[in-house]
């Protein structure tokens, strides 16, 4: 299906006007695929990552449908969007505010780590769309400050991440408070068994959409590998900064303490850098990210809290200062550059203890990262230890530390495919049910209804909308 512009998706005028102002001209593949089905009222199971334009793919049709059936009486939460991290929640909310600029629809964002008072005030004023992370939402629900009984649209973004982070029980508790009659959307970068079973509990006869990243976009990222002794990593970083004068550089460290140290050492060399990780206050994280986004901060040093979900355009360099011990994380990290098909440079440092991690990464990406020996800190010793096992970590014998959400992000395995999706990605769609009819007028894509799916929700109930052809928002 080739869609030339958003008007052909039949979105309402205020949305088209807002998109025009933002400068979106052509729908991305996931938008072109998902929006028509969502406007019809179908549930959607999407396999797509941040960077594919999925926020607009789920927000635009919801905004259209909300605008089409205006509320009577005070504002009630009609849409709940759940996502795993504060940054992603804030980003989704910001996008919605842009898209809804010409509509009488109010959105708010809710996450932990900040005072709940402003969130309470927003709730009291009334909102139509709530974008939340599960922990704080449950907290406010238990204080009876949130009423989800009028939710019509439920979105799970980065569902695999939410499950990885141990949110499954929170999600189940939240689901129990959301009406069964609703339209649901679930997006995930990967489709492990746990996601498929979650989707069975929450989606009704979903259309499945897969956005396959296009390999050419991977090529837009120039990867290189530098063998260096651990003690020389920081001077090597300074060397790169002086040699390449990167416009925007994102440096990934393994630990929070390590990131702070990199920032301090860079400052000593005359470079301003800021760190974001789980020990930083939400305000500090937002300020750093804001400055990095608007280009007033050249260097951001981060743990893996920043490796997924964050959309900062024009990052010219990603430095893997420490190699991740989970190979897929490498792919997510370097995917912070080269977004939307632009070029980008990804440099990985590998020290004398990281050979095992490097082997894991190269096995996962099925290629050897080209080695750059043309730098003053090249270490033949580190290179020779590529075959070695990583040294065992020291055991922490003290009191067990409470693991925070961001710790869990960096510790847990980041399952997931390629992050190089951008707008060049191709897509395929299939109904989650096997077999099926060919849907007329939909470019011959297969989709089916019914089948042997077990749905534990109370069935029935079409909800008619005023769109031509009506809607079939089955519950």
The residues binding ligand AMP (CB under 6 A) are: 24, 26-28, 31, 50-56, 311, 313
Question: Nearer Cβ to ligand AMP, position 294 or 452?
Answer: 294
Least distance from C-beta 153 to ligand AMP, angstroms?
17
Token pair listed for 396: 């922490």
Neighbours of 166 (CB within 10 A): 13
| Burial category of 88 from C-beta neighbours within 10 Å (exposed 0-12, middle 13-18, buried 19 and up) | buried
Question: Nearer Cβ to ligand AMP, position 31 or 223?
Answer: 31
Question: Nearer Cβ to ligand AMP, position 10 or 372?
Answer: 10
Least distance from C-beta 335 to ligand AMP, angstroms?
11
Question: Nearer Cβ to ligand AMP, position 58 or 330?
Answer: 58
Question: Nearer Cβ to ligand AMP, position 157 or 354?
Answer: 157
Cα–Cα distance, 452 to 179 (Å, whole number): 24
Question: Nearer Cβ to ligand AMP, position 5 or 281?
Answer: 5
Torsion of CA 415, 416, 419, 421, to 10 degrees: -160
Least distance from C-beta 373 to ligand AMP, angstroms?
36
Least distance from C-beta 151 to ligand AMP, angstroms?
22
Cα–Cα distance, 186 to 77 (Å, whole number): 19
Question: Nearer Cβ to ligand AMP, position 35 or 350?
Answer: 35
Cα–Cα distance, 46 to 421 (Å, whole number): 14
Q: CA dist 450 to 182, 185, 204, 437, Å?
A: 18, 18, 10, 11
Least distance from C-beta 31 to ligand AMP, angstroms?
6
> Is residue 154 helix, strand or coil?
strand
Q: CA dist 177 to 71, 138, 150, 195, Å?
A: 20, 10, 10, 20
What spatial distance separates the first Cα and last Cα of the chain, rounded to whole Å?
28
Q: Are strands 273-276 and 107-110 parallel, antiparallel or unpaired?
A: unpaired
Least distance from C-beta 91 to ligand AMP, angstroms?
7
Nearest to 429 by CA among 64, 27, 37: 37
Question: Nearer Cβ to ligand AMP, position 185 or 225?
Answer: 185
Cα–Cα distance, 132 to 135 (Å, whole number): 9
Nearest to 19 by CA among 32, 6, 9, 28: 6
Least distance from C-beta 54 to ligand AMP, angstroms?
5
Least distance from C-beta 181 to ligand AMP, angstroms?
27
Least distance from C-beta 320 to ligand AMP, angstroms?
22
Least distance from C-beta 313 to ligand AMP, angstroms?
6
Determine phi and psi for 161, rounding to 5 degrees: -65, -40
> Is residue 196 helix, strand or coil?
helix
Torsion of CA 204, 474, 173, 405, to 10 degrees: 60
Question: Nearer Cβ to ligand AMP, position 336 or 475?
Answer: 336
Least distance from C-beta 92 to ligand AMP, angstroms?
8
> Is residue 193 helix, strand or coil?
helix
Question: Nearer Cβ to ligand AMP, position 20 or 104?
Answer: 20
CB-facing half-sphere around the CA of 446: CA atoms within 13 A: 8
Question: Nearer Cβ to ligand AMP, position 9 or 228?
Answer: 9
Starting at the edge strand found earlier in the chain, the sheet holding 249-252 runs 221-227, 344-350, 317-320, 249-252, 299-302, 273-276
């Amino acid at each position: 299906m080739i869609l030339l512009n958003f008007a052909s998706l039949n979105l309402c005028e205020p949305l088209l006007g807002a998109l025009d102002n933002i400068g979106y001209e052509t729908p991305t593949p996931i938008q072109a695929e998902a929006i028509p089905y969502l406007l019809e009222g179908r549930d959607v199971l999407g396999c797509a990552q941040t960077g594919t334009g999925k926020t607009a793919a789920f927000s635009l049709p919801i905004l259209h449908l909300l605008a089409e059936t205006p509320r009577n009486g005070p504002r009630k939460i009609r849409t709940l969007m759940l996502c795993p991290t504060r940054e992603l929640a804030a980003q989704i909310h910001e996008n919605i505010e842009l898209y809804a600029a010409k509509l009488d629809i109010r959105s708010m964002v809710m996450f932990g780590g900040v005072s709940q008072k402003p969130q309470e005030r927003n709730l009291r004023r009334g909102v139509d769309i709530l974008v939340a992370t599960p922990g704080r939402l449950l907290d406010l629900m238990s204080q009876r400050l949130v009423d989800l009984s009028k939710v019509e649209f439920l979105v799970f973004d980065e569902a695999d991440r939410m499950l990885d982070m141990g949110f499954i029980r929170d999600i189940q508790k939240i689901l129990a408070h959301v009406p069964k009659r609703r339209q649901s959307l679930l997006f995930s970068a990967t489709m492990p068994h746990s996601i498929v079973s979650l989707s069975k509990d929450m989606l009704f006869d979903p259309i499945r959409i897969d956005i396959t990243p296009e390999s050419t976009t991977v090529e837009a990222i120039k990867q290189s590998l530098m063998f260096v002794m651990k003690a020389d990593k920081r001077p090597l970083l300074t060397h790169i900064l002086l040699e390449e004068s990167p416009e925007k550089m994102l440096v990934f460290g393994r630990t929070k303490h390590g990131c702070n140290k990199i920032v301090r050492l860079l400052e000593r060399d005359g470079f301003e850098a800021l760190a974001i990780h789980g020990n930083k206050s939400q305000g500090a994280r937002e300020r750093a990210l804001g400055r990095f986004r608007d280009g007033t901060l050249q260097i951001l040093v981060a743990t893996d809290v920043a490796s997924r979900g964050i959309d900062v355009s024009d990052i010219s360099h990603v430095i893997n200062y420490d190699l991740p011990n989970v190979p897929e994380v490498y792919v997510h990290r370097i995917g912070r550059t080269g977004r939307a098909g632009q070029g980008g440079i990804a440099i990985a440092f590998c020290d004398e203890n990281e050979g095992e991690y490097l082997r894991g990464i190269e096995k996962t990406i099925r290629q050897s990262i080209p080695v750059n020996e043309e730098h003053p800190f090249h270490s033949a010793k580190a290179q020779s230890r590529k075959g070695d096992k990583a040294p065992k970590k020291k055991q922490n014998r003290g009191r067990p530390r409470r693991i925070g959400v961001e710790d869990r992000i960096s510790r847990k395995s980041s399952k997931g495919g390629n992050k190089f999706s951008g707008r060049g990605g191709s897509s395929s769609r299939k109904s989650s049910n096997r077999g099926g009819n060919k849907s007329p007028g939909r470019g011959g894509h297969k989709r089916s209804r019914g089948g042997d799916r077990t749905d534990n929700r109370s069935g029935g109930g079409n909800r008619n909308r005023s769109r031509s052809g009506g809607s079939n928002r089955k519950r």
